[in-house]
Structure 1
Amino acid sequence: MDTKVDQPGEVVIVDSDVSTRESLMDTLHAEGFLVRGFGSAEEFLKFADEKRVICVILEAYLPGLDGLQLQQLIKAKWPAVSVMFVAEVANIPMSVRAMKGGAIEFLTKPCQKDCVVSALHSAAERCKRTRLIEAELYLLRDRYARLTPRERVIFPLVAAGVANWKVGLQLGISEMTVKVHRGNVMRKMNAESLAALILMGFKLQLPIRTRSVPQAAQSSTPSPSSNRSCAASV
């Protein structure tokens, strides 16, 4: 079965051993991956293009900045990029630290091709999903930034299911004004329904700013349903 990738991302190999690095690069090229090699962490950090990289294969014992230190930098700067470790000798404490840090594999040299390729396919899928989520969140944040201060206050209240008249009572504005702001929020956020707006609120991690309406105010301020009941009884 042909397992070559259709639209390969870039795999980066950071290994001070030239022969190991070039051998692995040739193997991955044959599998359809775009591959770049670097001899040190510092060289990688200077030239790597995060937008193309799906996985970084790190030699555990790099000179200078070592593999574990570089892993932490990659995780902090490029969360969509996976990390795989290779080492001449299996070191249990280091492998445990690497896996706890999010590494997808810790392999000993010479690496088995099937293990590396399988891990890279998984890394490619993970990277694609993560970057789609990041792109969607970036778009939502851009739309949210276009809301007025008042609309940003109303958004989480609406997302929390607070009725328009209660929002108006809480903010000291009329129900009609709330409806206008609510419509603006829906339009600017490009939300086709209230359910879609609620989902956007969760993705943006908006605070649910509901406050209980004072009991006296609730009893003295009729809701739309109570108005209809009164009208029906007249």
Structure 2
Amino acid sequence: MLRTTLLSASLALAGYGCAACLTHDFQVWTAEGARRLEVALAPVATPAVRIDGPGIPAQPLHQWLTDGRSVTLVDFVYTRCQTVCLALGSAYQQLQATLQAASQTDAYAKQVKLLSISFDGQHDSPQVLQTYAARLHADPDLWRFARVQDAQETQRLLEEFQVVVVPDGRGDFEHNAALLVVNQQGRLVRIFDYAEQQLALDYARDLASRSSP
């Protein structure tokens, strides 16, 4: 009886230890939650990849993101998507409307940018992205679209920013949907679910205010 009790206690302690390790001391229970916690604890520098897009001449992504003033909300899309990208587009339209209204009274709202990056760079040329942006009524003063044309650089960016993209074999992709907050120094500092757009925006505006003189 005593032996069985001790064995059960040992197994329970081992299970507790494994769970604590896998969940960062029980702060997260999913891989997505772990990804977000890791980024919050250790911000990720933008990798050396080049972008271009409507109104964006070819340049390093880090250069476009880093102006020492603006905080950028980034999402990853492709223009042929008929599923999750539609939800992301709707979320960004709401963010754009909120920023346009807030900019009248909140100086920090003017320091938040929106950037949608296509991971389908071979198809989504600057001209295609321009048409897509027009369809979403994107204001270029707030919301820009870009692509990473080189496939290897695209993969590097997705891996560094922990964006999951899986080709479905029919020309489309399965991918996760999130809002990534990049600070004024070009570092990914937070990840929010696309349904948490207000929370993401509030965080970005607060980050802009804390970094201003």
The structure whose RCO (Cα within 8 Å, separation 6+) is larger is 2
Between structures 1 and 2, the one with greater helix share? 1
Q: Greater CA radius of gyration, 1 or 2? A: 1
Between structures 1 and 2, the one with greater strand share? 2
TM over 0.5: no
Give the shorter-chain TM-score range.
Answer: under 0.3
